[in-house]
Chains A and B, each alone.
Chain A
Amino acid sequence: MTVLPYLVAVWVLCWGLYGIVTSRHLFHLVLSLGVAQAATYVLLIGVGYKAGAAAPIYADVPSATPVVDPVVQALALVDVVVEATVAALLLALALQTQKRFGTVDPDELHALKG
């Protein structure tokens, strides 16, 4: 099946979104966002793959070896860093929400005015 990795990316994205929508806790919500974003790693690495090619590291293979696309792998690295910082920033906001409103359930926050 030649599209299976891409379908995995869609599946992971939809589960992450489902987690965000049904979340009853801001911490769970941030983790769900991380799941949704993990779909981009699968997609990026998936589109860069060449059948039969090696990793784009020439440390132990001859320079003529076909390798997979290093650009998407570099983008995945950027993605990981951004995901970690966004998660940390959101968790900081969740922490202050708990202090300010005494709850981290998004449904209860909806009723509160701040």
Chain B
Amino acid sequence: MRRSARLGLFGAGAAALATMLVLAIAGLPGFGRYPGPYGDAIEAVGESKTHATDLVTAVNFDFRAYDTLGEEFILFAAVLGIAIVLRDRRGERKRAPGAPGTERGLARPSAALGMVGLALVGPLVVLGIDIAVHGHLTPGGGFQGGLPLGAAVFLAFLAGEYAAMKKVAPHATVELGEAAGAAGYALIGLGGLLFAGVFFQNFIDRGEPGRLLSAGTIPLSNVAVALEVAGAFLLLWNEFSDQALLVVPEGEQGER
């Protein structure tokens, strides 16, 4: 289809879509006049049932824990898909991790960059753990805390020589971490089935609301999910970095 024809078609479609959406919005209750009932129900029983003070986390890891399992496996499957899409193509060579020589097209990071990168690793790890383990108390949780954790390791990669660092933290270890996190969360669900008779039932003593060790299985779920998210994003970034840094393009085949 020609570009102008496509734009015209889009214009007509978008105008119709916008009209329908505006009509639909006219039928919604006004902003700030929440009609319920789910939010009101969670508000009424959320804290007393789960003993978590962060209701969003309580929803994610208690009331909707089963859905979160699905969400976690979306992440797992997507990373798997990326690894498959970015697999070695025919006629493509990869530099061995830790192979001698500089990385293709990229100078080694400057001393200042390397130092700032390494200096940030510690604070990022602390931030990630802090967000993940306090997920049931204050805003945060496994998904939010896992990202800084993964970013911390990746920062160490980028601050050093990428290929050499891969020898220190090999792919298999990261994969194992991700799988352990994903399986750990599923096991928490099975624990509910075993000890309380319902999949993802909160089967650990809920303790006193507001304490670090409270809310039963919710903190454990946060830790498992943080591990999975950190591993998943680390794998994802590694796949893309491999493409940029290690894969030798077809044009440069005869170089070595």
Tell me the A residues contacting B by CB distance below 8 Å. 2-7, 10, 13-14, 17-18, 21-22, 46-53, 55-59, 63, 66-74, 77-78, 80-82, 85-86, 88-89, 91-93, 95-96, 99, 107
Contact = CB atoms under 8 A, between A and B. Distances in A.
Contacts of A59: 53-54, 137-138, 210
Contact of A6 (B14, B18, B28): B28
A74 B74 contact: no
Contact of B42 (A66, A71, A86): A71
A3 B71 contact: no
B14 A58 contact: no
A21 B7 contact: yes
B25 A7 contact: yes
B74 A88 contact: no
B39 A82 contact: no
B7 A82 contact: no
Counting from the closest, the 4 A-B pairs by CB-CB distance are A69-B39, A2-B30, A51-B32, A85-B78
B34 A67 contact: no
Contacts of B85: 89, 92-93, 96
B99 interface: no
Interface string B240-256: 10010000010000000
Given A2-B30, A50-B32, A56 B43 contact: yes
Contacts of A96: 85-86, 89
A56 B55 contact: yes
Contacts of A95: 86, 240, 243
B145 to A, nearest CB: 12
B149 to A, nearest CB: 15
Interface string B59-73: 110001001100100
A18 B31 contact: no
7 contacts: A10-B21, A10-B25, A18-B14, A69-B43, A71-B64, A85-B74, A88-B236
Contacts of B236: 88
Given A70-B55, A71-B38, A77 B60 contact: yes
B78 to A, nearest CB: 4
Given A70-B39, A99-B89, A2 B58 contact: no
Contacts of B39: 48, 50, 68-72
A86 B67 CA distance: 18
B203 interface: no
Contacts of A53: 34
B109 interface: no
Question: Which of A5, A53, A63, A81 has the largest number of chain B CB atoms within 10 A?
Answer: A81
B116 to A, nearest CB: 25
A69 B34 CA distance: 8
